[in-house]
Amino acid sequence: MKFKKEVQKYFENSGWFEGRNVKSKFDKIKGFENFPQFLKDFLYEYGDLEVETHKYNKNDVTGIMNFKALTKGIYKIDGFLKNPRYYGNTFTFPIAYYS
């Protein structure tokens, strides 16, 4: 799976490398086998990374795209998409879900 060079550099700076595979972590998640193959492929390669966003100057807040799976808790997706949730000292903003 390839991205623009600039985006790929963010993944590399976050620990991604050619041939990376975290399949064993994600296959343990209940129901993961039902996800579409393209999503599983993405998470096997890029899952479990925390990608920091670009800071234009030293006063900018650094955002983090967290590709780790939340494996605990019950989430009502409609409310979750409208408002972030505080989970494990982290505010979460889900960008997708699969049902």
Better pLDDT: 47 or 86: 47
- Report the chain's mean pLDDT, rounded to a whole number: 75
Cβ-contact 50, 92 below 8 angstroms:
no
pTM attached to this predicted model: 0.65
Q: CA 54, CA 87: separation in Å to the nearest integer?
A: 24
Q: CA 10, CA 66: separation in Å to the nearest integer?
A: 12
The model's pLDDT over 74-93, given as tens digits with 9 standing for 90+, comes to: 555 555 555 666 656 666 55
Sequence-ordered alpha helix ranges (H) in the chain = 5-13, 23-26, 37-46, 77-82
